[in-house]
Each structure stands twice: as C-alpha cells, then as structure tokens.
Amino acid sequence: MRKTIIITGASSGLGAEMARQFAAKGHDLGLCARRTERLESLKSEIEAAHPDVKVVLKALDVNDHDAVFSVFQDFRQTFGSLDRVIVNAGMGKGGSLGTGLFKHNKMTAETNFIAALAQCEAALEIFREQNHGHLVTIASISALRGMPRAMTTYAATKAALLNLTEGIRADMLRSGLPIAVSCILPGFIRSEINEKVKNTPFMCDTVPGVRSMVNAIDKEQAVAFVPGWPWRFIAFLMKRLPLKVVMKMG
C-alpha cells in the first residue's frame, strides 16, 4: 500500500475529493494549495471522519517553482518518506488565440505544464533517493486532440503532460528503478473548473468520477481513461475521427 500521498491543488474540486477518498482508504495525506483556508476546512472534515489518518497542510503556489521543491522536501521530512505524489494542480483560463487573451493562455500554459514539470522534478528527486515511489499526473481526455476556443491552450498543455509522463515512464523502465508512473485522463467530471458548463454529454458527478480516478491510481495503471465507460470508447474514436467532428467536443 502506498501509505503517504501528496496531492497538489487539493483545496477544491477533484483534488479535494481525491483527498477524501484516499483518506477513507487509510492513506496519510500531504495536501497543498494556494487557498489554505479551504485546506483547513478539508483537514477538519477528514480528521473527523477518519481520526487515524494523518493530514499535513502546506501553502503552495505551484508557479513558485522553488517553493515546490522545498514544500515536497518538507513533506518528506514530516512523513519520513513519500509513497505517491499526485500532480493535480491546474487551471483552464483562456480563449481562441489572437483574440487578446494571451495573458490567460500563458497562465494556463505555465500552470498546467511548467509548474507540472517542476512538481515531477521535485517528486522524482525524492523517489530516486528513496528508491521507490509512484508519480501520478492528472491530464485530460482533451490531451488526445487539438480543441477550439477556451480549450485550445488547455488541451495542448494536457497533451504535453501526457507525453512528459510517458517519457518519465520510459526513463524509469530504462533505469530499472522501482518507481511507478501513471497518467490519468479524466473525461467530463463535475468540478469547479467546469461548474458553469451546462448540458455537457457524459458529464459525471464528482464523487463517482473521482472514485474511478482513485481506483485507477491505486492499480498504478500506466494510462487510464476515467470513468472507463464511456471514455475508453470515446478516446478510441477521438484518435481516429476527423477534426471537424472532434472539435465539437471543445
């Protein structure tokens, strides 16, 4: 069992629900996010429901790359070792390129990829020293194809994260190190990032959607489309359908 789990972006949405569900399975948790007041509330909720679970909080803006390394090391010192790091922090601001929204597209690119790179680096430094660990990145079904409008930059960052994770997995296989690497590609799961999106087909409620993520993570699957139905089938189609059809999903 991967006893100690670090989750970034844990103050809301999928990150907060993953924390609840992993706590229910008996995992100790290191939770970090910018909004510490939400983390405090989440910690109180988890400790009330699962008094044997240890929950440690850290304030972290993942775009402060030096802080990423120091916070992860602090978690390691507190827990003694880190068994799993879930690179979950992300955002989805932006719009069609060339429409004056570069500031937001840039912010999404930096948060979803450069900051994720920093988190992967910081986690793998610790895992290499320990000679064990499980790195998990949270991408998106949109990583499979280019998407229009507000999804354009977001989908591109998730594609980059998917490929980064596969490259890390290849490196670990080549090195023979006992470090597992997983990339989770959620379909439409209700969270704060999409709470204003209405009438979306196949939208899954937060709790069952995250349950499918947690199960895939615990199985240490290399790549997982979640929930499995219908997203494995949709992923198969997305890779093969004409762009004019795929872009209607964006």
Tell me the pLDDT tens digit for each residue of 234-243.
999 999 988 8
Q: What is the pLDDT of residues 171-189, one digit of tens each?
A: 999 999 999 999 999 999 9
CA 247/CA 236 separation, integer angstroms: 15
CA 32/CA 27 separation, integer angstroms: 16
CA 149/CA 153 separation, integer angstroms: 9
Closest CA to 85 of 197, 211, 182: 182
Q: Is there a contact between 158 and 139 (Cβ–Cβ < 8 Å)? A: yes
pLDDT at site 63: 98
Q: Is there a contact between 83 and 132 (Cβ–Cβ < 8 Å)? A: yes
Q: Is there a contact between 220 and 182 (Cβ–Cβ < 8 Å)? A: yes
From 113, 127, 154, 231, active-site residue: 154
Report the Cα 139 to chain-centroid distance in Å: 6
pLDDT at site 250: 56
Q: Diameter of the chain by CA atoms?
A: 52
φ, ψ at 173 (rounded to 5°): -65, -40
Flag whether the pTM goes above 0.75.
yes
SS3 annotation, 10-70: CCCHHHHHHHHHHHHCCCEEEEEECCHHHHHHHHHHHHHHCCCCCEEEEECCCCCHHHHHH
Across the chain, mean pLDDT equals 94
Q: What is the pLDDT of residues 21-61, one digit of tens each?
A: 999 999 999 999 998 999 999 999 999 999 999 999 999 99
User: Residue 146: CB partners within 8 Å, gap ≥ 6?
Assistant: 152, 155, 156, 243, 246, 247
Closest CA to 9 of 21, 19, 20: 19
Domain ranges of the chain: 4-249
Query: Which superfamily, per CATH, for 4-249?
Result: NAD(P)-binding Rossmann-like Domain (3.40.50.720)
Q: What is the pLDDT of residues 127-168, one digit of tens each?
A: 999 999 999 999 999 999 999 998 999 999 999 999 999 999
Q: Is 154 a catalytic residue?
A: yes
